[in-house]
Amino acid sequence: MKTYFIIAVVFLSNLFGYGQKLKVIQGDFNFIKDQKEINVEFVYDNMKLLKKNLSNEDYVKEHSAELEEETRGKGTSWEKSWYASRELIYAPKFLELMNRYLYEDHNVFFAENLTDANYTLIVETIWVYPGWDAGVMKQPAKVSTLLKFVETTNREHIALEVSSENAPGDQWGSSFNNEDRLGEGYAKTGKSFAKLILKKGF
């Protein structure tokens, strides 16, 4: 019984121990309510990973080599899925939650390649931690981003800039795929950011 209690405590601390923090760096929310669509761009150029703050290049090299030692070809396969997840998982997850709160309720649509939109939201990934799942115990992924609204035709004009730290990436049940857990972190980022916009901008 004592063992089960300890496991439960560890599980709950892993699940709820990493609160997301949103902080307005500059600007305000006044412009958003007058928009019908917002262009969105995702940037990963300077992202860091893990507690070691590895560059993406170093992380991919290290993790791919580990997988390749287990099974030949596994590292190469993972590397392809790692980069593909940006378009297949991370961006769609973020946009889905943004639109669930802002398009369905207030008719402000967020999507990539809306080049005629007055404003562009730049979602810059700063740091990620993939987390892990061992079945009985697990640790959520964490995603930190810089969320910046700029004028589409004048990128130097920043209308609003918000930092989001440690958005948790987790779901009920098991999730043994790093990219899926990170995807939930981007979903949480979108959900929390959308709620902040609703609170401050409408």
pLDDT string in tens for the chain (202-residue length): 444 434 444 444 444 445 899 999 999 999 999 999 999 999 999 999 999 999 999 999 999 999 999 999 999 999 999 999 999 999 999 999 999 999 998 999 999 999 999 999 999 999 999 998 877 788 999 999 999 999 999 999 999 999 999 999 987 656 678 999 999 999 999 999 999 999 999 9
Extract the tokens encoding 167: 């958005």
Sort residue 135 into left (φ over 0), alpha (ψ -120 to 50) or beta. left
Extract the tokens encoding 79: 């590397």
Measured CA angle at 192 (ends 186, 196), to 5 deg:
140
Nearest-CA neighbor of 140 among 5, 13, 28, 2?
13
167 near 188, Cβ under 8 Å? yes
- Which architecture does CATH list for 2-55+85-201? 2-Layer Sandwich (3.30)
Per-residue model confidence (pLDDT) at position 10? 42
Integer Cα distance of 17 and 1 in angstroms: 23
